[in-house]
Structures are given as C-alpha cells and as structure tokens.
Amino acid sequence: MTGPRDRRRGRRRGGGETAPAREVDYRHLRNPFPPVPVFSEDRVGAIHDAALGVLENLGMKVLLPEARALYRAGGAVVDDASQMVRIGRDMVEAALASAPRSFTLRAGARDRDVLMELGVLTLEAGAGAPHATDLIRGRRPANLRDYRELTILTQQFDALHMLTPLVEPQDVPLNLRHYATLEAQLTLSDKFPVIFARGTPQVQDGFEMIRDFRGLSDADFAAEPWCYTIVNTNSPRQLDVPMALGLIDFARAGQMVIVTPFCLMGAMAPVTVAGALTLSHAEALAGITLTQLARPGAPVCYGAFASNVDMKSGAPAFGTPEQVRANLGAGQLARLLGLPWRCAAGCAANINDAQAAHETQMSAWGAVLAGATVVLHGAGWIEGGLSVSYEKFITDLEVLQTFAELCADMPEDDLALDALAEVAPGGHFFGCAHTMERYATAFYEPLVADWSNFGAWTEAGARDASTRATGIWQALLDNPAPLDVPPERAEALTAFIARRSAEGGAPPES
Amino acid sequence: MTGPRDRRRGRRRGGGETAPAREVDYRHLRNPFPPVPVFSEDRVGAIHDAALGVLENLGMKVLLPEARALYRAGGAVVDDASQMVRIGRDMVEAALASAPRSFTLRAGARDRDVLMELGVLTLEAGAGAPHATDLIRGRRPANLRDYRELTILTQQFDALHMLTPLVEPQDVPLNLRHYATLEAQLTLSDKFPVIFARGTPQVQDGFEMIRDFRGLSDADFAAEPWCYTIVNTNSPRQLDVPMALGLIDFARAGQMVIVTPFCLMGAMAPVTVAGALTLSHAEALAGITLTQLARPGAPVCYGAFASNVDMKSGAPAFGTPEQVRANLGAGQLARLLGLPWRCAAGCAANINDAQAAHETQMSAWGAVLAGATVVLHGAGWIEGGLSVSYEKFITDLEVLQTFAELCADMPEDDLALDALAEVAPGGHFFGCAHTMERYATAFYEPLVADWSNFGAWTEAGARDASTRATGIWQALLDNPAPLDVPPERAEALTAFIARRSAEGGAPPES
C-alpha cells in the first residue's frame, strides 16, 4: 500500500459539507493490496492448459449460427447439427494476443472515465435483480421508478465507478425497456453506462442513443468504448443466442464486453474450486475468442463469478470460503492472460442483517485481494441477486468507501514528535497543535456508522444501520447532486425514444 | 495461500453432526495471507528509531517504585520525584535480544496448546466489557452467569484459540472476582486461560490455582506459559501500578504478557497513523523491556491496538480505514522486532446490525492482513468494548470460521476433467460421480447463515441473523460439548477458593 497515488478532490457524501473536505479521490483507484495466490504457478498453468483442452476436445455448444460461422472461419471444428464448436488453442492464443491489455472507458465526463487494466480497482453496485426492497415500501417486483432511483443513488457515490442495471424494471415491456433504462442512465448520471445484450436491434438502438447523446460521430463512437455489456455463458459450455450476439455486436462496435461465466460449484460447475475455474476459464476464453474473431483488438474484459451452492438444498451461497478462493484463483488466471478482469462480491441473505454484511464484505475482500479490475455486486445485492435492498446499498457503500480510502495515499502522516513531547504522560492530544491542524480532515467520515454511546444512541431512537440507511437514501433522492444535462440532447433523446416506441420498439432476442 | 498445512480433524459446531465431517483443523492456523505493508521499509525504521528516541529523551512515567528500580538497575535514567524513566536504546535492544521469538502456550489439553510466533494466526473473542446483552435478557451489567456462559460458548468453537475475559462479572466483589473467573475458565474449558493483572496477591492466587488444577510442579509451571495477561499502558507514556506489577509478576513466573498500548488517534495518541504508532511502539517497547529486566527470556507478546476517534464527539471508532492502516503498520513494526504480536478487531456499533458486522470484519481483515499472531476482540465485542452481544458472538464466529477455512489446505481439488466431459452443455453437475464423491464435505457448512430463498425464509418466520444466533447460543448452552474435568482437581480448586475467600480474598491493586 505504499507509493504515490493520483489524488484529486473527491465529492464525498453523507455529511460534513461545511467542514474542510478531505482530498481523497474515490474516482480513480489503484488496488494497494498485493494479489493473494491460492494455487501454485504450476497449478495455474495446468488449469489454463486444461481449459484449452476443454475447448479443443469437448468444445462449446454455440446456439447462434453466425457465431459458429465466425468460429469456423477462425479455424474451429464446427458441427452444425450438434451446434458444437471445438476451438483450437492457437485460436485462443491469437485472441489473447489481439485483446487489449489497457483501454479507457469513456463516460459522460472526462473525470468519470475509467481506465481498464490490471492494477486498477473499479467498484460497482449490484446488477440484474428482478425485485427491489426498502424499509418504506417493502419488497416488490422492481419497476422503472426503482431503476431510476437506484441510478440516481449510484451517481451520488464516487466509489461506484460505472453504472449497473441494479434492477429489472418489470413494468416496462421488454421491447421498450432498453429505451427507459438507457434514458435513465444518460439523463440521471454521467457515469459509464451499461446495455443488456438482448439482441442486435436493442443493442443498436442503444449505441445510437449513446452516440447522439454524447455528441459523437460514428468514428468517435467506434474508436473507444462508450458503454459495456455483461455476457454470461450458460454454464456448462453453452453460449446462447443473445449472449453470442452481444459478443459479436459489442466487439464489432468497439464497445466493451465483460465475459463472465457464472459458475456455481456443485451445480452448473464442478464441485471443486479448481474444476469450477477450469470450466469458467474455458468459457471465458471461448467468449473472448469470439470477440476477437468479430473484431481483433475489441475491448474485452475477462470475467469470473464462481461460488458454491448449499449441497443440502442446491441454493446458491455467497461470501463463503469457497467463493473467496475462487476469486483468488480467478485472479491468478486473469494475470496469466494479462487482461483486465471482473470479479464479484455476493450475498444470499434475505434481509440487510449481519449475515448480509458479512457475506458481501467477505466476498468483496476476496475480489480485492484477487486483484480484480472490476468488483461487481458490491452494493445492494441480496437474495443471491434476486433483490436489491436500498438500505444494503447504503450500508455496503460504507465498505466500498473504506476500500477507496485504503487505495488513497495516507494523509500527510508525520511522526508527531512535537506533539509527543508536548503532551504529558497520561494526558491527551485533543487540544495540541498537531491535532488542531489536522483534526477536521484527518479521518474518514462515515456514511452510515453511528459511533455515539449506548445512552445517546438509545435516546436518539435506537435506530439500527438499516433504519439510518433509509434516511440517507431518502435524503439523497430528495436532493441529489446537480447534473448538467444539455437540454437539446435530452430532447433529442426523448424524440428518438418516442419515434422508436411508435415503431414498436425492439423485441428482445431469446 | 499455497503450501502444506497441518491438518487434523476439527470439531465443528452448528449442524451436520451426522454427515461426514470435513477434515479442517481450526485449532492450529497459519496465516495464508502475505502481510500487507502500509509504510516503506525506511519509514518503519524511522518509526522504530523515533520510538527509541521517545523512550530515551522523553521517557515513561512509571508509577510503581519497584518497576523504576528495575529500570534503574538496567541502566535507565530515573527521577523518582517525577516518576519519569528514560530508557536507553541499548536497554531496549538487549530486551529484544532476550525475548523469545517462539514459544508454546500450554492449555488444559495438548491439542489446545497454541504456538506463538510470527506466521501463526490465533483468534480470540472480545475482552473486558462491563455489560452483556442478548435478545432474550436485554442489556445488563455483566454478571458471573454471563462470564460462565461466555466461557462455555468460547469453548465450543475451535476457531477461538484462547480464553478471554469477555465480560466483567460485576456481581462478584473485586477481592473474590479472580477466583470466580478462573474457576469458570478451568472447569468449563480446556483452553489457555487469562488472568487480569490487578496486583500481586490476585496474580499469585491465579498462578497457584492453575498450577494445582493442571497438576504441575512449581518447576513445570515456571518452565512454560500456562496463562497470560494483557497489560495496557496508560497512553500516553504512563505505566500504572497494577500494569507494572503485571509485567513483573508474569515475567518472573515465566507466564505470557501481552503488552498492548490502546492508542486512539486524536485522543490519547497523535492524530496521524505514524504518530500514533510511534507512541504505541515506544510504550510496547518499554513494557517488553521491563519484562526482560524482570526475567530475561520471559515470554512476551508485542501488542498494538490503535484506532481513531470521531473528531466531532471524541467517541472511539472502529473498523475505520485508519484502524486498518494502523493494524498494517503495527504488523510491520512487529516483524521488525521478530516477536509474536497481538492486534485487534473492533466495533463501535450499539447493536448487532450491518454496521457492527462491517466494522468487526473490516478491522479483523486489517489484523489478518497485518500478519497478527493474535487477533483480539474478534467476536461479540460491541459499543467499543462496553458490551458483549451474545448474538454478535455467534455471527462473528461465521467470519472467524471463514478465516480458519482460508487457513486450511484446499480440499483435494482436482480439475474435474472427467466431470467436465461427462456433463453435457447446459446440463448440471449435481448428480455426476465427481460431485457425489465430494458433496458431503466439499464446502464449509455455515454456522448461522440462512441461504434459503425469500419465500421459504419468510414462511419460516423471516428471522434475521441475530434472531437465529439467539437460537444457536441457547442450544450450545443447553448442550455444550462434554469436558472431562478430573473431580479431585475440581474439588481441590473449590476448597482452595473457599479457604482463600474465608481469608478475605485478595483486594485488587489500583
């Protein structure tokens, strides 16, 4: 954790607006923790080799004819009857040679851009939940209001570096949902946006919306990634139609794909960490290869999301020692490739309690110590991804902000020799000059922690962290940081959506 | 995290008694995480040098004449009028040369013995709280029943490696309290016991009770540590009478002292991490030096417990980035000395909520990544140490058991190539031979986590982690693992206590 760090003034939330601001830049983090290995170097090589063997000998089932054609053109052995594609290791090696090791994600403002390379730490909230829950409104199928509110909340925290589709707005029809979600992202945030890969028409709509809203030429848009998608393989060894289309469409457009097999050990992956990572690695390599066949040099992010199931019930589990180990092992595989990579925290609790806090933090530490470039599901994700808790979003941010603090330089940190001489034995440092000069900015100021004593806390209503978090997200939604959206861009976006909606939108591919 | 580990069958709690047991030894852990630095090597040397300068030039105020005499005899410059003792660096260096780098703590059973050296990871519950709280009986001044119950609970978990005085039994008079607490430790647990250093008479009582209960000769007892105490200096730069007596009495008896300055940055220590560690390091070195003056070679453990206060209120804070950094920096100083060392987790929350879980786990990670030999306050500690929560004790054990799992070898962890070939694309691994052979023991079985889905969880009463934890501690207290206590030893202990109580006990030194 030594060495100089890029520092700029961050915009911290949660109080202290009138106090002198601590100059800690949460927007651009480099991971200060040396990556922790879980396998020997030989073992990492063996897993990589076994994964290449899986692709070469067993192959992937690829449901999209166009993807099979691309693999075939690249030299794969393809059987259209069985849809099986056997991918030679030379093809994988060529793909790894052309995939960029470092690239910059272009957000709506330059200081929101995100560098993608090994060593960077990028934190993200949860993604993909069909339900939302909070202490005021209860648990419900997620709707567009939830999606918009959670986008606003994501915008308020510099420790969240990209937008995520926290929830599925189920009240918006699928042929129109991509308009509503992207409009929310572009008009409520200037962070790097995400598009679900649900078929070419929706994806092309999205590219067009972003290009025009950002005021880019076609060439500008194609030159750098302005949005991303996450492609999950259908483990084991299957790539479905929308996911294959996503790999191809994003690669051709020069936009970032994160290829993440979701491998639950004992369910859709082998029961051992090494076995699950062999499968996960093979599938990620298959996806990365397809992106490079579609467009050599396309920005792609290696992904791994492996945890275990409860072998009594088959239920997914997170925050387990097995997930931590899988995270650490995946980091070793990513470093072997040299690519930026995405990992994940996770939580299977049904409420924002001690279990929930334990699981998300434990798995987040696993991802951080694994050297993950992107840590997904870092805030709000509960029920194994079936719900997002507004309160957990806030309490998890305390963890993420703590990680962000640990990425920063220590504040000017002298040995305080004068103060040590000034304060008498048994005395205190509250009033000494050394303290007075620094106290206002010396320490991280918490978002939701309450450090008052039991008596004061009881008198103030004995509110637990979740209850306090409710007040925080309500206040942030009532008074979010202002965002400068050019009116003509917003109007053009509205007009585009109205026109495309009148045309019937774009039904999803399934 | 690679490399062979000592493995034996652990006794895991919390379910699955009828299933094949996973062979993970929680009793003997080596830390698998490479220590994380927060200072450059130069900076560590500078802090050590500055601490030596503090002792040499500013000195410590030592309230006990006998301690000042020992320091003087060792070469220190002592002023009895001001009680100030200036300790030369040659004296500190001599003490560091004679303090043992490795020694074994002798518990009541050989497989409960604890090796003390750098690289070992020893986990402990909280210590010293004046209150206890649980969801059944509420918050109350701690009593002897609490002390006994918490001793029983500590005994049930192999991931807790020594006994701690979780609470102060305030219903027992101070002249008799040491009898009640040590009787509880010896008869309810076979783990390594702790004695408060409250003056020589109480300490000698304790030594005698342990010697006789363990069936040792005087020479046996003196040859190895059979108990320990924790000495907190009165930061800044003061050593009071009972603490100085503890250092001397334990060192002379060959029993372990953990010397831990408790330095809250901004309050009793400088506001910067480096300044606080300079002070903390100086005080620890002063204490270590006194032990070696009392008896060269006495087993002593370096300690550091530094966190920050809330500069708005002065309230102690834990789980902060500052505590994590102080932990990491203290680890660098301990490794410079080469001594085993004690660090701490911590939590300032008033209830076992997401804040509580966050703070304890964050600070525990700081201690683990700092390479601490002993992590104190790992379970149950809330309100900054003013209370122990029975429910938090249980939920924190989930974290500690996860650390213990991460210390163990990975289970036999092949690449599952046969299973990968056996399971068709899009299929699952639930029934394949590779899974069936391993599923019963493949994964950590949680203590308190509930991984059922929202519907099942709701139907089962929507119980949060704290509520489930209540059921767990109640069940453990109702039916603890049997402990073999020789009746004649227990009778002799009872008789000793009766006799000494009739004699008036031993009033504490203050």
Pick from A273, A358, A457: CB nearest B350: A457
**8-state DSSP, A91:** H
C-alpha dihedral sign at B50, B51, B55, B58: positive
Contacts of A351 in chain B (CB under 8 A): 462, 464
Contacts of B310 in chain A (CB under 8 A): 443, 451
Contacts of B319 in chain A (CB under 8 A): 402, 449
**Residue to substitute from B52, B58, B140, B271, interface A, most A β-carbons within 10 A:** B271
Q: What is the average pLDDT value for chain A, to the nearest integer?
A: 94
Which residue's structure tokens are 């680890």?
Answer: B331
Evaluate whether residue A26 is within a structural domain.
no
Name the residue type at position A156.
Q
What does the buried/exposed string (b/e) look like for A156-182 if buried means 16 or more CB atoms within 10 Å of the residue's CB? bbbbbbbbbbbbbbbebebbbbbbbbb
Pick from B60, B267, B410: CB nearest A428: B267
Pick from B2, B53, B424: CB nearest A40: B2
CB contact under 8 A, B60 and A425: yes
The chain A residue lying nearest B432, using CA atoms, is: A270
Q: What is the mean pLDDT of residues B439-454?
A: 95
**Residue to substitute from B355, B359, B422, B428, interface A, most A β-carbons within 10 A:** B355
Q: Would you state the structure tokens that stand for residue B129, as one six-digit string?
A: 């709280």
Evaluate whether residue B392 is within a structural domain.
yes
pLDDT for B7 equals 33
What is the Cα B506 distance to its own chain's centre?
Answer: 26
- φ and ψ at residue B376, rounded to 5 degrees: -90, 165
State the Rg of chain B over Cα. Answer: 23
Contacts of B470 in chain A (CB under 8 A): none
Contacts of A266 in chain B (CB under 8 A): 429-430, 435, 439, 442-443
CB contact under 8 A, B428 and A268: yes
**Residue to substitute from A235, A272, A393, interface B, most B β-carbons within 10 A:** A272
pLDDT for B35 equals 97
**8-state DSSP, A253:** T
Q: What percent of chain B has pLDDT over 70?
A: 95
pLDDT for B384 equals 97
Residues whose CB is less than 8 angstroms from the CB of residue A57 and which lie 6 or more positions away in sequence, other chains included: A86
Evaluate whether residue B308 is within a structural domain.
yes
The chain A residue lying nearest B423, using CA atoms, is: A236
Q: Would you state the structure tokens that stand for residue A263, as one six-digit string?
A: 């491998």
Counting every residue written for chain A, the total comes to 510
Pick from A265, A357, A411: CB nearest B354: A357
Task: Assess whether pLDDT exceeds 90 at residue A16.
Answer: no
pLDDT digits 0-9 by tens, A209-254:
999 999 999 999 999 999 999 999 999 999 999 999 999 999 999 9
Do the beta carbons of residue A177 and residue A488 sit within 8 Å? no
How far is the CA of B255 from the CAs of A26, B106, B299, in angstroms?
Answer: 47, 10, 6
pLDDT for A509 equals 87
Do the beta carbons of residue A284 and residue A304 sit within 8 Å? yes
* β-strand pairing of A120-123 with A374-376: parallel
> Per mean pLDDT, which range of A240-249, B160-169, B408-417 is the poorest?
B408-417
Contacts of B385 in chain A (CB under 8 A): none
CATH classification of the domain holding B364: 3.20.20.480
Q: What percent of chain A has pLDDT over 70?
A: 95
Evaluate whether residue A15 is within a structural domain.
no
Distance from CA of B174 to the nearest CA of A (A): 25
Distance from CA of A262 to the nearest CA of B (A): 12
pLDDT for B12 equals 39
- φ and ψ at residue A6, rounded to 5 degrees: -65, 125
C-alpha dihedral sign at B416, B418, B422, B426: positive
Contacts of B262 in chain A (CB under 8 A): none
Pick from B278, B325, B428: CB nearest A415: B278
CB contact under 8 A, B308 and A450: no
pLDDT for A2 equals 40
Q: Among residues B125, B399, B347, B447, which one has the least CA distance to residue A358?
A: B399
Range of the domain at A73: 41-407
CB contact under 8 A, A410 and B34: no
- Helices assigned H by DSSP within B177-320: 177-188, 200-213, 218-223, 241-252, 273-294
CB contact under 8 A, A319 and B402: yes
pLDDT for B510 equals 77
What is the Cα B319 distance to its own chain's centre?
Answer: 16
- φ and ψ at residue A428, rounded to 5 degrees: -145, 165
CB contact under 8 A, B359 and A449: yes
Residues whose CB is less than 8 angstroms from the CB of residue A456 and which lie 6 or more positions away in sequence, other chains included: none
Confidence of residue B13 (pLDDT cuts 50, 70, 90): very low
Distance from CA of B209 to the nearest CA of A (A): 34
pLDDT digits 0-9 by tens, B232-288:
999 999 999 999 999 999 999 999 999 999 999 999 999 999 999 999 999 999 999
CB contact under 8 A, B361 and A356: no
pLDDT digits 0-9 by tens, B302-329:
999 999 999 889 999 999 999 999 999 9
Q: At what angle do helices A65-73 and A241-252 cross, to 10 degrees?
A: 60
Q: Label each residue of B184-211 as H, E or C.
A: HHHHHCCCECECCCCCHHHHHHHHHHHH
pLDDT for A20 equals 57
Sheet holding B138-141, edge to edge: B138-141, B131-134, B387-389, B381-382
Q: What is the DSSP string of B445-477?
A: PPSS-----HHHHHHTT---HHHHHHHHHHHHH
The chain A residue lying nearest B237, using CA atoms, is: A425
Evaluate whether residue B426 is within a structural domain.
no
Residues whose CB is less than 8 angstroms from the CB of residue A458 and which lie 6 or more positions away in sequence, other chains included: B350
Q: Among residues A341, A264, A376, which one has the least CA distance to residue A309?
A: A264
Q: Among residues A113, A322, A175, A291, which one has the least CA distance to residue B449?
A: A322
Pick from B317, B405, B429: CB nearest A269: B429
Q: At what angle do helices B241-252 and B200-213 cross, to 10 degrees?
A: 30
Q: What is the mean pLDDT of residues B80-84?
A: 98
**Residue to substitute from A87, A312, A443, A453, interface B, most B β-carbons within 10 A:** A443
Q: Would you state the structure tokens that stand for residue B92, as one six-digit string?
A: 């500190």
Q: What is the mean pLDDT of residues A173-179?
A: 98
Q: What is the average pLDDT value for chain B, to the nearest integer?
A: 94
Distance from CA of B291 to the nearest CA of A (A): 21
How far is the CA of B500 from the CAs of B180, B253, B380, B486, in angstroms?
Answer: 12, 21, 33, 21
* Percent of chain B as helix, strand, coil, to the nearest 5: 45, 15, 45
CB contact under 8 A, B361 and A357: yes
Contacts of A238 in chain B (CB under 8 A): 425-426
Distance from CA of B364 to the nearest CA of A (A): 11
Evaluate whether residue B34 is within a structural domain.
no
Confidence of residue B24 (pLDDT cuts 50, 70, 90): confident
Evaluate whether residue A456 is within a structural domain.
no
pLDDT for B21 equals 67
How far is the CA of B401 from the CAs of A274, B404, B474, in angstroms?
Answer: 22, 5, 19
Distance from CA of A117 to the nearest CA of B (A): 22
CB contact under 8 A, B353 and A353: yes
pLDDT for A409 equals 79
Q: What is the ipTM of this complex?
A: 0.95
pLDDT digits 0-9 by tens, B485-508:
999 999 999 999 999 999 999 999
Task: Work out how many domains chain A is built from and give that number.
Answer: 1
3-state DSSP assignment of residue B502: helix
pLDDT for B3 equals 36
Q: Would you state the structure tokens that stand for residue A458, as one six-digit string?
A: 């009881």
CB contact under 8 A, A313 and B451: yes
Contacts of B369 in chain A (CB under 8 A): 33
Distance from CA of B198 to the nearest CA of A (A): 19
pLDDT digits 0-9 by tens, B336-375:
999 999 999 999 999 999 999 999 999 999 999 999 999 9
Q: What is the DSSP string of A133-151?
A: EETTTEEEE--HHHHHHHH
CB contact under 8 A, A420 and B311: no
Evaluate whether residue B252 is within a structural domain.
yes
Contacts of B423 in chain A (CB under 8 A): 236
Q: Would you state the structure tokens that stand for residue A278, as one six-digit string?
A: 């062999």
Task: Assess whether pLDDT exceeds 50 at residue A6.
Answer: no
Confidence of residue B209 (pLDDT cuts 50, 70, 90): very high
